[in-house]
Structure 1
């Protein structure tokens, strides 16, 4: 049955002109990126979700920057895996393609994806807490980096808990999903809003929905197809011969 599903999903992708892909932490876990769950759920006795907040940053900027510099150091050693590379190839083969990621690790861009929306920002971006300056910086940052434009404190260029998405991001995502022939959900539990509602939006507009995940999720039974296993194995098989 799994092999039959693989062949059907491959045939669907081969004939599609409009594809939207949503990725989550599971796709990057295969590159060694920590998911901060289970044994990895603490950093110096702090829960990451308690540090990934604007109030924590303004109360303890040195601590939060220490945490993010540690994450950046870990990520600097990670490379895109076959799943990232397969999605970059899929983009080249499908006329209208959008990759939406909940990840902030930058691995999709590193793999060559260009039609890419980083919903929650990027660890490699920094932005000013006062002016509008934003830039990419992969260097080792000081404890309290300063804006090169106005001299005020820089912060990580990510969307923290309680913060809205970058203006316009959600509108573009909804517009593209509404036009999709196929919607792929990869490496995500599908529980975090607003991304959690994307698969239903796709179904409501007639798209075929496909889940690719290591194990079943709460949305598995609602998908048209579910392929369970490593994305790094499944995705390259789907793009072969496209």
Structure 2
């Protein structure tokens, strides 16, 4: 069996990382994304943008994977042992899937612990704070390696290829509001795949899923993983 799993902020919320959308203190309810997450915002006030992502980076470095991350790593290992596989596509910019043991993770929205040169495009690991004075070896300015509003998500060809090879599509902790990721379930259905949603509450596109399970990711994801591995 080959699984395609899409994860969103809900899978990392219990690790103490804020979600960008949804109920409660979602980040985009407290901050204006147009002032913090667009190329224009960075050009206008790089210090403000860096300060926002520096805080997110420090928060991430203090966080740990939760039971949902661990269960997905266990699922990948179990499927590989049986000759199958798991492609984990995440909208998250954290590295908690990797820290939990997942090995095939595609970060379609970039990675918070990396920086990208605005001049040459080189990507480097960065765990320290960035500032308008942070520079690449080519002397170009460094920016967070994250996909901002108005930019194209990463690895889309690889993502569509993995979706085309999958036997089951699963969305975990996603709002169903952010495209193109929100459109993956419709693409999966068009390919005849069964689709499963595991979230805290119904997503915007919940009607597209055959199987819907709601609750805390640390509870429903491990339970679902055990069902899959028991088949």
Given the two structures, how large is their TM-score scaled by the length of structure 2?
0.89
8 A contact 1:66–1:143 mirrored in 2: no
Superposition map of 1:15-34 within 5 A: 17-34=1-18
Alignment equivalent of 1:139, drawn from 115, 121, 128: 128
**SS in structure 1 of the partner of residue 25 of structure 2:** helix
1:91–1:68 CA distance, 2 compared to 1 (3 A): same
Distance 2:197 2:175 in 1: 10
Q: Does 1:172 align with 2:153?
A: no
1:239–1:42 CA distance, 2 compared to 1 (3 A): closer
1:118 CA drift (Å): 0.3
**SS in structure 2 of the partner of residue 203 of structure 1:** helix
1:107–1:49 CA distance, 2 compared to 1 (3 A): farther
Distance 2:198 2:31 in 1: 31
1:62 CA drift (Å): 1.1
Q: Does 1:216 align with 2:202?
A: yes
8 A contact 1:65–1:144 mirrored in 2: no
Unaligned runs of 5+ in 2: none
Q: 2:149 — aligned with what?
A: 161
RMSD of aligned residue pairs (Cα, Å): 1.8
1:48–1:142 CA distance, 2 compared to 1 (3 A): same
**1:159-196 C-alpha deviation (Å, 9 max, x unpaired):** 11101123xx1111112112211111110111211111
Distance 2:3 2:91 in 1: 17
8 A contact 1:104–1:122 mirrored in 2: yes
8 A contact 1:29–1:35 mirrored in 2: yes
Q: Does 1:59 align with 2:47?
A: no
Distance 2:28 2:89 in 1: 27
1:142 CA drift (Å): 4.6
Distance 2:28 2:204 in 1: 25
**1:19-48 C-alpha deviation (Å, 9 max, x unpaired):** 0000111111111101245435469x7424
Distance 2:72 2:64 in 1: 15
1:232 CA drift (Å): 0.9
**1:205-227 C-alpha deviation (Å, 9 max, x unpaired):** 12110000111123222211001
**SS in structure 1 of the partner of residue 15 of structure 2:** coil
8 A contact 2:197–2:209 mirrored in 1: yes
Distance 2:41 2:100 in 1: 33
Structure label with greater radius of gyration: 1
Q: Does 1:119 align with 2:108?
A: yes
Q: Which moved more, 1:138-147 or 1:171-180?
A: 138-147
Given the two structures, how large is their TM-score scaled by the length of structure 1?
0.85
8 A contact 1:190–1:218 mirrored in 2: yes
